Amino acid sequence: MPGLEHTILIPLIPFFAFLVIGLLNKTLSPKVAGMIGITGILASTILAYQVALGYFFSFGQVDGVFQKIIAYKTSWLQFTDSLVIEMGAILDPISAMMLVVITTVSSLVFIYSWGYMKGESGFSRFYAFLSLFSFSMLGLVLATNLFQMYMFWELVGVSSYLLIGFYYDKAAAVAASKKAFIVTRFADLGFLIGILLLSFHTGTFDFQLLTDPNGPAITSVGGATFMGLSVVSLSLLLIFIGGAGKSAMFPLHIWLPDAMEGPTPVSALIHAATMVVAGVYLVARLFPVFAFAAPEALEVVAYIGAFTALFAAVVACTQPDIKRVLAYSTMSQIGYMMLALGVSGFGEDGLGYTASMFHLFTHAFFKALLFLGAGSIIHAVHTNDIFKMGGLRKFMPITHITFLIACLAIAGIPPFAGFFSKDEILAAALVSNKLIFGVGFAVAGLTAFYMFRLYFMVFWNEAKIEGAPHESPSVMTIPLIILAIGSLVAGFVPFNELVTSNGSLLATELHWEVAAPSVAIGLIGIVVAMVMYRKASNLPSKLSSSLGGIYKAAYSKFYIDEVYMFVTKKVIFNLISRPIAWFDRNIIDAFMDMTAKMTNLVSEGIKEMQSGQLHYYAIYFASGAILFVVLMLWMR
């Protein structure tokens, strides 16, 4: 669309920053590299705000309905006449919203890292990777078609891989990065096959065509089957596998806790606020197809989301590592978003959709805040283990306050942001599925509990740190403050007007029948946590020993990692790869060698024919001649 082509610059500016820093790595001083990165992302942010605000408040609506606008498009690779990968930028409520989220969090993380990463040897490398990530993530949300999305999806995965493995001489970091990439890659396989399947039947990758309720995608392929299953459901489920991988849904979640090996700002940006919600974004992007053509797939989404929310919340209650607790909490919250999408309907019944997006929006603020706060803490105390912290509120007041705000927000206490979005989610769930509502409700309590467990362990309790940790520099605290403000006000954004499943306004109000109990259970959680962890006591250990097996299982993350290890190391490596390698060497190759050996053997065997004795030669001669006579006479 004319006048909006500059939208494409939003992702491209960080990309150029990446190229410049990457190529001139040697010659640029780290400071300059950092400045380039920060300038780049700030420029993107300004553009993104301009575009997003413009979209929401000036040109986005036609007759009160938000349109999907193709701001820019160029064909990149042509497969067939209709299947074309185009590079472009789509503008619609969710992409505009995501632009805001990503650029905001990114710029804050970029700035925060200036302080956090100070003096690290890979400073400029860090900014290069961060810029690459921002490029990929922005490209992902702006994708106009499935394949473009897949491309950036992969790029995001790689940036995540590079950043998790940032401390590449640490074995744990290397293993974590590898794990993250391979697990998500496995999930992406589902995504890719889903794309292939869907595009084969619809003949297009284009989101606009796919999601058009009257378009060929939804209407014409309903009856088609592939290997006995409805094509649309199957392909959407496969695509959802991709989303589940990236968004760490059970059972593809195992990479996320390990990914905390990366620098904390990375965890904040990638593994809390932006990349991990890509799966939610993907489902939201294809939501009309889900809603119209494959409601059963949507149901799967809901159950997976609900289960993950619960599962991760339980695990989070037991973890000793501050970042891992946050990681499980992220999983749990994303499960919430998935759940919301899963229970949603389209149009009038689209509360879940809006709620999900709303939660995505608010979650980005408070979860980024939590991570950056955790980073600030780790920066000060140099450990991740919450049992080694305590009493930090005196030393780090700003961090303390902002962290508290974030905890309140995630616990769903009004008027913090989390309250509003969580309320809508639970309301949507209540309407559609009681079981899922129950789970969501329980998770709300658990969330409050484990967040405040964390909070009290770190900031109250007794100080176990020797010496006096000090507050982080202002380049780190200012982003915290900004995010804290965001966590306070984000809840008041009128999402029902801006982001809805069909683009038009969704009538909604505060659901007190849901809000009151959920706030109550949140408060209960907080109180329980306060009782147990505010001061040093033996309550927690008593409780854990009384829970016995369940606690142990939760502490060990329900042994999912072990199952994976078994499958990969034992089954794939030892039972498949090794035998194949052996088979190749000792059967197939040996067969080729054997033909050579056989030839040699035959050669050795017939050497007596040439005996050196003249009269034997004559015998061969004569019998040869006679043989041919017989042969020819017989054949005649």
Partner 1 sequence: MIEGVPLSHILVVSSIMFFVGVYGFVTRKNLLTMLISTELILNAVNINFVAFNRYLYPDKMEGHFFSLFIIAIAAAEAAVAIAIFISLYRNLKSIDVEDVDSLKH
Partner 2 sequence: MDLLTLHIVVPVLTLIGIAFARNLQQTRTIAAIGMGIQLLQSVNLVFAFLAERRGGNTAEVVFAKSIVWFESLNIRYDIGVDGISVAMILLTSVVIFTGVFASWETKDLYKEFFISLILLAAGVFGFFISLDLFLMFLFFELAVIPMYLLIGIWGSGKKEYAAMKLTLMLMAGSALLVVGILGLYFNSAPGGGQYTFNIIELSKVVFPIELQRFLFPFIFIGFGVIGALFPFHTWSPDGHSSAPTAVSMLHAGVLMKLGGYGCLKVAIYLLPEAANELAWIFLLATGISVIYGALGTIAQKDLKYINAYSSVSHCGLVLFAILMLNKTASNGAVLQMISHGLMTALFFALIGMIYARTKTRIITEMSGILKVMPFLSVCYVIAGLASLGLPGLSGFVAEMTIFVGAFQHQDVFHRVLTIIAVSSIVVTAVYILRVVGMILMGPVKEETYSAFSDATWYEKVATVALIIGIAGIGMAPLWLSDMILNSLDPIISAITGI
Partner 3 sequence: MSWEQFLLMRHELLLILAAVVVLVAEIATGEDKNGINHTAIWLMASITVVGFLPAPVGKLFGGMYVVDSLRLAMKNTLNIGLLIVFLQSARWLNSKENQGRVSEFYLLLLASVIGVNYLISSGNFLMFYLSLELTTIPVAALAAYEQYKSRSAEAGIKLILSSAFSSGILLFGLSIIYGVTGSLDFSLAVFAGAGSLGIVGFIFFFSGLAFKISIVPFHLWTADVYEGAPTNISAYLSVVSKGAAVFILILTFFSFFRELQDVWQGVIFATAIITMTVGNLFAIRQKNLKRFLAFSSIAQAGFIFLGVIGGSELGMAATVYFVLIYVFSNLAAFGVVNIVAVNSGKESMEDYNGLYRTNPRLSLVMMLALFSLAGIPPVAGFFGKFFLFTAAAEGGFYALLIIAVLNAIISLYYYLLVVKAMFINKSENPISGFTSDFYTRLSLVICVLGMIGIGFIGEIYDYLQSISFGL
451 Cβ contact partners less than 8 Å away, ≥ 6 residues apart:
329, 407, 410, 411, 529
The C-alpha atoms of residue 327 and residue 321 are separated, in whole angstroms, by: 10
Does residue 605 interact with partner 1 by CB under 8 A? no
Tell me whether residue 151 or residue 278 sits nearer to partner 2 (CB atom): 151
* DSSP states along 513-579: HHHHHHHHHHHHHHHHHHHHHSS--SHHHHHHHHHTHHHHHHHTGGGHHHHHHIIIIIIIIIIIIHH
How many contiguous H segments (helices) and E segments (strands) does the chain have? Answer: 28, 6
Q: Is 591 in the site for partner 3 (CB under 8 A)?
A: no
Six token digits for residue 279: 């799966």
609 lines the binding site for partner 3 (CB under 8 A)? yes
Nearer to partner 2 by C-beta: 220 or 545? 220
Structure tokens at 468: 């006096």
Q: Which stretch binds partner 3 (CB under 8 A): 122-130, 497-505, 581-589, 613-621?
A: 613-621
Is residue 577 involved in binding partner 1 (CB under 8 A)?
Answer: no
State which residue, 579 or 624, has the beta carbon closest to partner 3.
624
Q: Report the residue from 607, 633, 635, 636 that binds partner 1 according to the rule CB under 8 A.
A: 607
Binds 562, which of partner 3, partner 1, partner 2, none (CB < 5 to 8 A, cut-off by type)?
A: none
From the CB of 616, what's the least distance to partner 1, in Å? 8
Residue 226: strand, helix, or coil: strand
Residues 6+ positions from 438 with CB-CB distance below 8 Å: none
- Helix (H), strand (E), coil (C) string for 174-207: HHHHHHHHHHHHHHHHHHHHHHHHHHHHHCCCEH
Smallest separation (angstroms) from partner 2 to the CB of 146: 11
| DSSP 8-state symbol, 412 | T
Residue 531 or 618: the one with the smaller Cβ distance to partner 1 is 618
* Spatial separation of the C-alpha atoms in residues 500 and 359, rounded to whole Å: 13
Window contacting partner 2 (CB under 8 A); options: 166-174, 499-507, 543-551, 626-634: 166-174
Nearer to partner 1, 227 or 614 (CB): 614
Residue 636 C-beta: closest distance to partner 1, Å: 21
Should residue 578 be labelled a site residue for partner 2 when binding is judged by CB under 8 A? yes
**Which residue has 């290890």 as its token pair?**
565
Residue with Cβ nearer partner 3 (39 or 610):
610
Which H or E run includes 75? strand 69-78
With CB under 8 A as the contact rule, which of the stretches 166-174, 449-457, 567-575, 617-625 interacts with partner 3?
617-625
Which is closer to partner 2, CB of 42 or CB of 182? 182
Q: How many residues bind partner 1 (CB under 8 A)?
A: 11
Cα–Cα distances in Å, from 301 out to 170, 244, 430, 447, 607?
36, 9, 16, 21, 75
Locate 574 and state its tokens: 């030892």
Among 12, 32, 193, 489, binds partner 2 (CB under 8 A): 193
Say if CB 314 and CB 554 are below 8 A apart: yes
Alpha helices, DSSP H only, in 382-511?
Answer: 397-411, 417-432, 434-459, 474-489, 495-498
Q: What is the DSSP letter of 27?
A: T
Residue of the chain from 77, 619, 629, 631 that contacts partner 1 (CB under 8 A) = 619
Q: Which residues bind partner 1 (CB under 8 A)?
A: 607-608, 610-615, 618-619, 622
Q: Which residues bind partner 2 (CB under 8 A)?
A: 75-80, 83, 85, 147, 150-152, 154-155, 158, 161, 165, 168-169, 171, 173-175, 177-178, 181-182, 185-186, 188-189, 192-193, 196-197, 199-200, 226-227, 572-573, 576-578, 580-581, 584, 588-589, 591-593, 596
